[in-house]
A and B are shown apart, each in its own frame.
Chain A
């Protein structure tokens, strides 16, 4: 018999037999079998344990009515299948009847319609080769369809889109070749997937393959098996330029036939190897749509599904993968490419991220190409140096906003077209990462070691030119060591939240901090005067009814007229945002807030002159003594100016704005004020 090839150590077989007699569970079975094909006489029992169908009798509740619309077609197909088996004539009738019962009951209980060539007959054919009762057969059939056959096996269906993405991830050249030939995966993997290879592989090969598949209990494994088959035959496939599309499809479909029983173990470990070299986030994204049991849930998953350019990596996976400092050969490690605009990158980014401004591709394609080369070089260098940033897998990160991410997609598409393998995109962009880190730091186990959060003072951040460069690769002198010591730095990261609720929590936090002032004061590291003034940096509620005085003195003076764009792009501007200035008179003025290293500027748009603005105010950052926000409307920010005297401050003036990006703006401004005060101090 060719069904199992047992060489070497066979002691596990008797162990398995004993275990089966003792009615072991799936876990211990797996421990014994270790993903190996099992002998024929034990197969029925092993499968039932793996599929979780032991001791169930569901078929007995069948009403015995064979009255489906497609009953005739079904009976025909069952007969055809049984004719192929070559049993004795008298046995045939009962087998046909059993098969028809199984399929009819399945259709009725699941409310599904039978269609010819949907792979079921192929599955049943494999199952018939294993000695089981009809009831057991039904249970296995049900469980296989439920657990291992992906939903949506149709043109443009999810399983095929996912398969294409996996192929592109591992072998972009092959994927591109098939794309060019217009051979979409549904044309060849359909029959592999819907029968679990039962329709294409030799029966004995298939039995051994199912042994492994069921033991792994990973429904996605068949995608990687299909991937191995393709990659294995890549030379043959790439050499089919002369063949017609139909011939190519036909030869693709037939590839699994070449598999032999001896290959199965190697074949399956290869499939697992590919699975381990793939970002895992796709599992969560596709699980419901491909293997979810509820039809409603499937539909939901269907509708909210967005097709992507390449595989997506969740923030969790990304952070976790790069957290392990020991480089494990078997896990995916990412080289993160941060494609956000320079100012966003400078505000906060992962220590290991390489910056490649996607706008550069539009503005200066030559320079962009140089930057991409630098990227590949930096990646290679990081891998040789085994630095924390090292990773074979490129993960591109945007800002999570469609408006900006369309340029990130463009960069990713460009890299993909270059034939680069292992290309993925960070799902949700940087905000996803930020939110995770924020959540963990809220829990008091802040692990900010992966983030650089600061403003534009230190030398590394002045890259508004946008040329790609790698930062923080040197583990020892990574800037994060310095910043993570800074409590306020940490807090400010946490402040950056869009949720009002979080902000309120934080306000309380900071207030508490204020009440424990003495404690803070006594600690060694806060010898500086301004740190005592906890409420300088309060984001809390404005005292209700407090007067907002405006900038009268400057109101009368003749104002300088400047071009907005020029000013925003000035090299010393570290942050800018749109806002609405609230004047004491009740007027509102659309304005821009600009933060430089030393000053806060308010540019008021000139309605009659597009793109031009008056410089409405210019305030030294050191004179800002208080920043407050309205509890009910957190985007309403008031800056109070004045001077410190004897640990009190005299407010001489104030300015109110509605800033849509209030949390970002205040964070940057606060950090900058700290710098200025630090500088004044020393």
Chain B
């Protein structure tokens, strides 16, 4: 068996209230499938997918799906530290899930420090227009207030699913090129792709370095 070649591995974590649709979103993104009923996540689940961040440059996204339920909080907290990207998800048809965004954002930031991470806000279940309780503008405003990107997504229609993941992957890649984020020993947020011959990886790193200068 031979691993597909990728330059880097980014670890992303999805957080947000229980039942906002984190697992469905990930399942759609990794499998292209939507399942109306889905069991609540037990503690934590894991998905992976390759993605192109620029022509010829592929990254592996390790996606951590966390349980939104309060009783798993002590377990899910341990996954923040090793994440380079955080997607905070709320349900546009459930006001309370939007109101909890701030708590989620703060909790994630607190646990990720001193490392840096890219955050994205996702208003999920966007297909559910008739039950909408949070307007697009409200979601957008929250994201802008904190300087974050915002998408309304749906795992039913597929709206913005690919785009939102592409956005966080590309932003992470750019931060890496710019040197804001670095590969660090003992931190699993970003890792060099280990399936490639070492020289090539080092070459890429050297290139990026020269570009920075």
* Chain A residues at the B interface, C-beta cutoff of 8 Å: 156, 161, 176, 179-180, 182, 306-309, 361-362, 364-367, 402-403, 405-406, 409-410, 412-414, 416-417, 563-566, 610-611
In the bound complex, residues from chain A placing their C-beta under 8 Å from that of B198 are: 563, 566
List the B residue with the shortest CB-CB distance to A164: B71
Interface membership of B176, Cβ < 8 A: no
Q: Quick check: B45 and A362 within 8 Å, CB to CB?
A: no
Interface membership of B183, Cβ < 8 A: yes
Given A180-B39, A365-B48, A610-B183, A409:B75 Cβ within 8 A: yes
In the bound complex, residues from chain B placing their C-beta under 8 Å from that of A308 are: 75
Interface membership of B210, Cβ < 8 A: no
Q: In the complex, A331→B198 CA distance in Å?
A: 53
Q: Quick check: A176 and B72 within 8 Å, CB to CB?
A: no
List the A residue with the shortest CB-CB distance to B81: A403
In the bound complex, residues from chain A placing their C-beta under 8 Å from that of B42 are: 309, 413, 416-417
Q: Which residues, 107 to 129 on B, are CB-close (under 8 Å) to A?
A: none
How far is the CB of A372 from the nearest CB of chain B, in Å? 14
Interface membership of B185, Cβ < 8 A: yes
How far is the CB of B192 from the nearest CB of chain A, in Å? 8
Given A176-B39, A180-B39, A610-B183, A156:B46 Cβ within 8 A: no
> Per-residue CB proximity of B43-70 to A under 8 Å, as 1/0?
1111010000000000000100000001
Given A417-B42, A417-B45, A406:B71 Cβ within 8 A: no
Given A179-B40, A180-B37, A406:B79 Cβ within 8 A: yes
**Top 7 closest pairs, chain A to chain B, by CB:** A413-B43, A406-B78, A307-B71, A309-B43, A413-B42, A416-B42, A179-B40
In the bound complex, residues from chain A placing their C-beta under 8 Å from that of B1 are: 364, 366-367
In the bound complex, residues from chain B placing their C-beta under 8 Å from that of A364 are: 1
Interchain residue pairs with CB less than 8 A apart (19)? A156-B70, A176-B39, A179-B40, A309-B42, A309-B43, A362-B62, A365-B46, A365-B48, A366-B1, A367-B1, A405-B78, A406-B78, A409-B44, A410-B44, A413-B44, A416-B42, A416-B43, A610-B182, A610-B183
Given A180-B39, A610-B183, A156:B71 Cβ within 8 A: yes
How far is the CB of B195 from the nearest CB of chain A, in Å? 10
List the B residue with the shortest CB-CB distance to A165: B71
Given A309-B43, A416-B42, A417-B39, A402:B71 Cβ within 8 A: no
How far is the CB of A409 from the nearest CB of chain B, in Å? 6
List the B residue with the shortest CB-CB distance to A402: B78
Q: Quick check: B46 and A309 within 8 Å, CB to CB?
A: no
Interface membership of B74, Cβ < 8 A: yes
Q: Which interface class (under 10, 10 to 19, 20 to 34, 35 or more) fits B?
A: 20 to 34
Q: In the complex, A405→B74 CA distance in Å?
A: 12
* Chain B residues at the A interface, C-beta cutoff of 8 Å: 1, 19, 37-46, 48, 62, 70-75, 78-79, 82, 182-183, 185, 194, 198
Q: In the complex, A403→B46 CA distance in Å?
A: 17
How far is the CB of A245 from the nearest CB of chain B, in Å? 13
In the bound complex, residues from chain B placing their C-beta under 8 Å from that of A156 are: 70-71
Q: In the complex, A566→B40 CA distance in Å?
A: 40
In the bound complex, residues from chain A placing their C-beta under 8 Å from that of B45 are: 410, 413-414, 417
In the bound complex, residues from chain B placing their C-beta under 8 Å from that of A405 are: 78
Q: In the complex, A402→B19 CA distance in Å?
A: 27
How far is the CB of B190 from the nearest CB of chain A, in Å? 12
Q: Quick check: B185 and A307 within 8 Å, CB to CB?
A: no
Q: In the complex, A627→B74 CA distance in Å?
A: 41
List the B residue with the shortest CB-CB distance to A609: B202
How far is the CB of A327 from the nearest CB of chain B, in Å? 31
Q: In the complex, A504→B71 CA distance in Å?
A: 42
Since A179-B39, A364-B1, A413-B42 are in contact, a sample of 15 more A-B pairs with Cβ atoms closer than 8 Å, ordered by chain A residue number, is A176-B40, A180-B37, A180-B38, A362-B62, A406-B79, A409-B78, A410-B46, A412-B43, A413-B43, A416-B42, A416-B43, A563-B198, A610-B182, A610-B185, A611-B185
Q: In the complex, A406→B75 CA distance in Å?
A: 7
Q: In the complex, A565→B42 CA distance in Å?
A: 33
Q: Quick check: A180 and B40 within 8 Å, CB to CB?
A: yes
How far is the CB of B86 from the nearest CB of chain A, in Å? 16
Q: In the complex, A428→B1 CA distance in Å?
A: 36
In the bound complex, residues from chain B placing their C-beta under 8 Å from that of A416 are: 42-43
In the bound complex, residues from chain A placing their C-beta under 8 Å from that of B46 are: 361-362, 365, 410, 414
List the B residue with the shortest CB-CB distance to A563: B198
In the bound complex, residues from chain B placing their C-beta under 8 Å from that of A565 are: 194
How far is the CB of A282 from the nearest CB of chain B, in Å? 15
Q: Among B43, B78, B79, which residue has the most Cβ atoms of chain A within 10 A?
A: B43
In the bound complex, residues from chain B placing their C-beta under 8 Å from that of A361 are: 46
Q: Quick check: A307 and B72 within 8 Å, CB to CB?
A: yes
In the bound complex, residues from chain A placing their C-beta under 8 Å from that of B182 are: 610
Q: In the complex, A367→B62 CA distance in Å?
A: 17
Q: In the complex, A414→B194 CA distance in Å?
A: 25
How far is the CB of B11 from the nearest CB of chain A, in Å? 9
Q: In the complex, A309→B38 CA distance in Å?
A: 19
Q: In the complex, A364→B82 CA distance in Å?
A: 19
Given A180-B37, A362-B62, A566-B198, A409:B43 Cβ within 8 A: yes
List the B residue with the shortest CB-CB distance to A564: B185
In the bound complex, residues from chain A placing their C-beta under 8 Å from that of B48 are: 365
Q: Quick check: A309 and B75 within 8 Å, CB to CB?
A: yes
How far is the CB of B35 from the nearest CB of chain A, in Å? 12
In the bound complex, residues from chain B placing their C-beta under 8 Å from that of A566 are: 198
In the bound complex, residues from chain A placing their C-beta under 8 Å from that of B62 are: 362
In the bound complex, residues from chain B placing their C-beta under 8 Å from that of A610 are: 182-183, 185
Q: Among B37, B45, B71, B183, which residue has the most Cβ atoms of chain A within 10 A?
A: B71
In the bound complex, residues from chain B placing their C-beta under 8 Å from that of A367 are: 1
How far is the CB of A160 from the nearest CB of chain B, in Å? 10
Q: In the complex, A414→B39 CA distance in Å?
A: 13
